Each structure stands twice: as structure tokens, then as C-alpha cells.
Amino acid sequence: MLCLTGGTATRPTRTLNWYCKRTTIQPTGGAGMEDVLLLNGREQFVRQKGERHQTLPISCGAESVAGCVSQRACVYCGARVVLNPVADALHLVHGPIGCASYTWDIRGSLNSGESLYREGFSTDLRERDIIFGGETKLAAALDELIVKYRPPVVFVYSTCVVGIIGDDLDAVCKAAAEKYGIPVLPVQSSGFVGSKSIGYQTACDVLFNLIEPPKKTMILRKRPVINYLGDFNLAGEAWIVKSYLKKMGVDVNVVFTGDSRYEEIRRAATADLNIIQCAGSMFYLAQKLEDAYRIPFLQVSFLGVEDTAESLRKIARFFDESAIIRKTEEVIATELHRVTPEIAQYRTALAGKKAAVYVGGGFKAISLIRQFREIGMEVVMVGTQTGRREDYEIIGDIACDGTIILDDANPAELEKFMLTQGADLLVGGVKERPLAYKLGIAFVDHNHDRKHPLAGFDGAVNFAREVYTTVCSPVWSAVKGGVSRGDL
Ligand code: SF4
């Protein structure tokens, strides 16, 4: 789909990559994959693990290569993913109506009572607003919405066109905050100012500004209290993790941001520890909280049996209290006893199958490599939208020889490597689903569209069951027999 052969004098070839060239994928050791079509400029973002287990010198965290159809979402999307689960907030998108479609309906997140965050609000900027400015319309929208819904906090997202016409979001939000006595926070998220990672960072800055310094008086607690960062409670995952922690004797102060409330966010600085599930979106906030309030943080993962057990032990070790350590082992033993037999059944059926992984953050990719091993499958392609260098180093260490590793992939690369690597399954998000289906390859959604939790011990069973159900479905033999895969 991306090969437009031969740049010509009339094409802007200095900035766009109009043609592909055959490239040898650089391995970390051993032989490379010969003659793979890659767009110009993509060579440094794709690697194949070789035989000597060297650290992968892969490029990441860079702007997408011009001319590629990046699978990454925009800055506004990144900010929205992080902030939208704040359930009692009013979320107003300042821009054309199309940007506002990126709302709760397609970025689902469960909550325990509030529903305001599920409403989609937009200033619906039209041509006239673009020419004469949208500030008056924004102020009017804030007046109408704040009077009607009485939210404790408002987030106002800027979009591409607002960044271009230069509406003074800060000034309009400040005036509304003074008028109504509530925080009205500008989220400077014009889509073109960077990648989705910048949106995460912008949202973290907004959240950090809501957090109040802890009061000087000593807080006497019977149980330690933690903040849980980087879980958006897409299908109730935050509730599962909270239930383990409760049994261990650890209380959760606030989840950033699944099923969270304004008042909970304000008191985040009182926690004893921050744990981070999604490092791509929340590592920055954890660092800020450590710098400002000396709250230490731990990277955890509740994806897969092995990682869930190890993460619970990590938290218990941090507090180093015999009662917590004992209860943690009890929780793990009980859960393992319950889930292991069912997972073992799927493992037998799935032994030897191959998986391809393309997800948002690096830590999810790392956990998935381990989780597929738990169910007898090998990951043969793994990539992320926003993985960090440290993430790729771990991926390079734990991936099997021959695994294709790629950052900020485009559809052509994903399709190509799913086929050349012989994947039976792709794990990804909504944008990757059709890529797999049209190739006759099974697909598992590990993003915001799913309706069942994939975290914790129950999530591990759900994951294994879903992988088994789709990979072993008889439909694939029928599809593969009848559909040409084309010349990719
Ligand atoms: S790229 Fe710009 S126009 Fe597109 S959704 Fe993002 S903010 Fe809106």
C-alpha cells in the first residue's frame, strides 16, 4: 500500500519518502533478514534479534518519518487517554467536532458511579470561528456547561486548529476559573506539536497542578497507602488490582486515572509509594511526585500470572512488614491455585503458535512477551508506539532469536512482518484489528475497545481464553483457504 515507485521532479522528495527501497534488517547478532521493503528513513526503527543477544541499537522516541502512515495517535489523543477517566470532570474539546469523536465511546473506561466524563463536549469550531477566533465561543461554552453540570474541575483541550489560530486558552480558562471558583485547566494538546507521548506529558503536568502539598500535621495510619499510576480501568482492571492490595493490607489513595475523582487527585501527595503500570504515560508524573514530595515509585505490571505475582511481592518487599509479606504470599497462593488449571488447558492447545504484538507502551510489550510464554506461545514480532530506549533494551534481552522489533510502525510493515514471521495472532488496538483480519490472522484487542479485564490473575485467564478462542477458531482455515493475501 505504501510503495509509490520513483520520485519525480514534481514531487517534494526532500521531505517525503515517496518510494521504498530494499533493506537488510540490521540484526543484533547473526544474519539479518534480507531484502525487506522499508520506506526511506525507517531503517533505524526496525531490528531483528540475532544470535548473540546484544543490546539493540534501535531508534525510538523520534518524530514519525514523513510519508509513513504512523499507527501513533496525536498529542490531543495522548492527553485525552490520560485525563478522560477522571470521572467527575467536565471534558471540553476546543476545536472542530471531529476531534471530539475521540471520547468515552471509543476510549472506554469503567467507573463506580459518576457519569459526567462519558459526555462529549466540543466548541464545534466552524469556518467563521477559524477566521475571527474561537475565544468567545469557548467562554460561552464554559458558561453554559459549568452552570448546567456544576463540575468540580474542567479540562479544556486545545486541538490543531486552535494552536494554529492562536486562541488564548490560558486566559479564557483563567477567567472562567475566577468566575466560578473551580479549576478550569487548559490542556495544550494541539495535535501537531509532537507525538502521543507529548500528550501524556501534557496531561501529567495538568494532573500535577491539581495535587496539593501534604499538610504539615503527621498522618497516623494503620496501613500503608499507595497511588496506582497508569491504569485507566478500561474494563475494571484497577478494581482487580485494588482487591489484591486490600487483602495484602495496602490501601489505594488514588488511581491515575481510572475511576478517579478530583478530590482523590488533590490528595495524591499524601501517599507512601507510587506504583506505575503504564510507564509510557505515567513515568513522568511519578518522577515529578518524587522530586516534589519525595514519594518513591516502583514499576509494576499486572499483565500475566508471573508479572502479577512478582509485582505484588515487589510492593510487599518495599514495605518490608512481615504481616504484609505473609498476606501477599497467601493472596498469590490462593489465586495461583484457582487459575493455574484453566491456563494449563489453553497452554496445551496453544503450544507452538506464534504471536505478533503491536501496542502503545514498552512495558505492556515486555509483559506480553512473558505472558505468551506462560501460554506456550512465541512472540515473533513486537513493536510499540511510544516505547523508551530502556524498554527496547529489555525487549531485546527477553525476545527470542529472530524476533522482529520495531518502533512506530506503519501498516505496511506490520502486515509484512506478520506474514514473513508466520504469526498466528496479532495483539494490538483498534487500528491494528483490520490489518490482521484482512490477512486471515487472529486478533486480540489489548486496548480501549475491550470489555473484559486482562489484568491480574483473572485477567490472565481471560487473556489465555481469548487467545485460545480466536487462534483455534476453525474460521481461519476457511478464510485462509479462500482469500488471497496479496503481494505484500
Ligand atoms: S491531529 Fe489535530 S485535528 Fe486530528 S484529532 Fe488530533 S488534534 Fe484533532
Distance CA 431, CA 117 (A): 24
Best mutation site among 101, 160, 161, 198 for ligand 1, i.e. most ligand atoms within 8 A of its Cβ? 160
Question: In sequence order, what are the residues at sequence separation of 6 or more whose Cβ sits closer than 8 angstroms to the Cβ of residue 337?
Answer: none
How many angstroms is it from 300 CA to the middle of ligand 1? Answer: 32
The Cα–Cα gap between 85 and 81 comes to 8
pLDDT reading at 75 higher than 80: yes
159 lines ligand 1 (CB under 6 A): yes
Supply the residue whose CA is at minimum distance from atom 5 of ligand 1.
Answer: 99
CA-wise closest residue to 209 among 185, 191, 229, 192: 185
Quote the distance between the C-alpha of residue 261 and its chain's center.
21
Sheet containing strand 90-94, edge to edge, reads 121-122, 90-94, 154-158, 184-187
Would you say residue 178 has pLDDT above 70?
yes
Q: Is the peptide bond before 470 cis (omega within 30 degrees of 0)?
A: no
Banded pLDDT at 11 (limits 50, 70, 90): very low
Tell me which residue has its CA closest to atom 1 in ligand 1: 191
Strand arrangement, sheet containing 297-299: 251-257, 225-231, 273-276, 297-299
For residues 280 and 273, give the distance between their C-alpha atoms in angstroms, rounded to a whole number. Answer: 19
- What average pLDDT does range 328-349 have in this prediction? 97
Per the DSSP assignment, residues forming a β-bridge with 404 are 48, 381
Residue 13 has pLDDT above 60, yes or no: no
Share of the chain above pLDDT 70, in %: 89
- Tell me the average pLDDT across 281-301: 96
pLDDT at 3 over 80: no
Q: Is the CB of 191 under 6 A from ligand 1?
A: yes
Residue 6 pLDDT exceeds 60: no
The answer to whether residue 343 scores a pLDDT higher than 90 is: yes
- Whole-number pLDDT of residue 26: 57
Confidence of residue 14 (pLDDT cuts 50, 70, 90): very low
- The Cα 432–Cα 359 span in angstroms is 9
Residues recorded for the chain? 488
pLDDT, tens digit (0-9, with 9 covering 90-100), for 203-254: 999 999 999 998 876 667 889 999 999 999 999 999 999 999 999 999 999 9
Among protein residues, the one whose CA lies closest to atom 6 of ligand 1: 191
Q: Whose CA is nearest to atom 8 of ligand 1?
A: 99
**Mutate which of 69, 77, 93, 99 to test ligand 1's pocket (most atoms within 8 Å of Cβ)?**
99
Q: CA-to-CA distance for 149 and 142, rounded, in angstroms?
A: 10
- Give the distance (Å) from ligand 1 centre to CA of residue 73: 9
Which triple of cell numbers denotes residue 240?
482487580
Q: Is 428 in the pocket of ligand 1 (CB under 6 A)?
A: no
Mutate to test the pocket of ligand 1, among 64, 74, 189, 195 (most ligand atoms within 8 A of CB): 74
For residue 67, report the distance from its CA to the centre of ligand 1, in Å.
Answer: 17
Arithmetic mean of pLDDT over the chain: 89
Rounded to the nearest angstrom, the distance between the alpha carbon of 405 and the centre of ligand 1 is: 28
Q: Ligand 1: does its nearest atom lie under 6 Å from the Cβ of 111?
A: no
pTM for the structure as a whole: 0.88
- Cβ–ligand 1 distance for 195 under 6 Å, the answer no
Counting atoms of ligand 1 from 1, which one is nearest the CA of 95? 8
Does ligand 1 have an atom closer than 6 angstroms to the CB of 155?
A: no
Write b or e for each residue in 273-283: b if 16 or more Cβ atoms lie within 10 A of its Cβ, otherwise e: bbbbbbbbbbb
In the block, cell 486548529 appears at 161
Specify the ligand 1 atom closest to the Cα of 159: 7
Q: Is the pLDDT of residue 162 over 90?
A: yes
On the question of pLDDT at 275 being above 80, the answer is: yes
Could you give the domains of the chain? 75-210 (3.40.50.1980), 225-329 (3.40.50.1980), 348-482 (3.40.50.1980)
**pLDDT confidence of residue 487:** 45
Whether 19 has a pLDDT exceeding 70, the answer reads: no
Give the SS3 label for residue 219: coil
Q: What is the mean pLDDT of residues 159-188?
A: 97
Beta strands in 286-417 (DSSP E): 297-299, 354-359, 378-384, 404-407
Share of the chain above pLDDT 90, in %: 73
Is residue 76 within 6 Å of ligand 1 at its C-beta? yes
Residue 63: C-alpha distances to residues 72, 74, 210 (Å) = 10, 11, 30
> Which atom of ligand 1 lies closest to the CA of 102?
5
- Does residue 408 sit in helix, strand or coil? coil
Predicted confidence band at 428 (pLDDT cuts at 50, 70, 90)? very high
Summarize the confidence of residues 296-315 as an average pLDDT. 97
Which alpha helices (H) appear in 152-193, and where do they start and end?
Answer: 160-165, 169-180
**Mean pLDDT for the stretch of residues 157-171:** 97
Check if the beta carbon of residue 371 is closer than 8 Å to that of residue 303.
yes
Query: How many CA atoms are closer than 13 Å to the CA of 388, on its beta-carbon side?
Result: 10
Average pLDDT score over residue span 174-194: 96
